[in-house]
Structure formats: structure tokens, C-alpha cells
Amino acid sequence: MPRSDSAKQRLKKEAEQKIAGMDGVQLAPDETTAAGDLKYQRFPNVRGVVVDRSSETGYVQISSRDNGITKITTGPGESGFQYEPILEGQSCMLYGCPTVWWIEPCP
């Protein structure tokens, strides 16, 4: 199901607030929704992710050999937004249909 413009704008506003004052980063051009296919990013291509926890059912997993696993669930019963940095050696994968806004390094 396509996301509403208001849901997209809420996520964008939250992502903008999360990176306010951070040097060397910017928002990706648009939000990303995994639609049952795996979406994958890793450091240094992205530096963080803002997850819309009320998006469709799924989860976001940030992992590395040294730092363990962070798993953020999305879907019914979840609400709000969650920012997580993506550090050197980490990758981030979207499972199911969560929606996120990637935080990228500035060119």
C-alpha cells in the first residue's frame, strides 16, 4: 500500500531534526520502503537511519562483527521514530516492509 504524503512528510521532518547540528551528513533524496525485498546499506555509504516504527510490518537490523545486532520492529502496535547511527564496520538491512530515511555523508 502506498504511503500517504503526510506520513512521508512526518518521517522527513523527524529525520531533519535528528541530523540538525551534525556535521558532514545529509538526508537521502527520498525515503526507502522495503516491499518484501531486501534493502541493504552499509558504512560509509550511509551514516545513520531514521525508522518510521508505524510503517508496514517488518524490521530494520543493524549489525557488525564487533558491535552485535540492533533490531527495530515496525508495524501494528509500534509507533514513533527511531534514529540509529551506522558506524564503521556496520551494515543495515530492511526485512519485510519497513520505511526508513537514510542519512548519507555529504559529497
Whole-angstrom distance, CA of residue 51 vs CA of residue 29: 15
8-state DSSP, 16: H
pLDDT (tens digit per residue) in 2-16: 789 999 999 999 999
Q: What domains sit in the chain, N to C, each tagged with a CATH number?
A: 5-105 (2.60.120)
Nearest CA-CA partner of 97 in 76, 66, 70? 76
8-state DSSP, 45: T
pLDDT (tens digit per residue) in 49-97: 999 999 999 999 999 988 789 999 999 999 999 999 999 999 999 999 9
Whole-angstrom distance, CA of residue 43 vs CA of residue 37: 20
Which sign does the torsion angle of CA 26, 10, 84, 3 carry? negative
pLDDT (tens digit per residue) in 12-55: 999 999 999 999 999 999 999 998 788 999 999 999 999 999 99
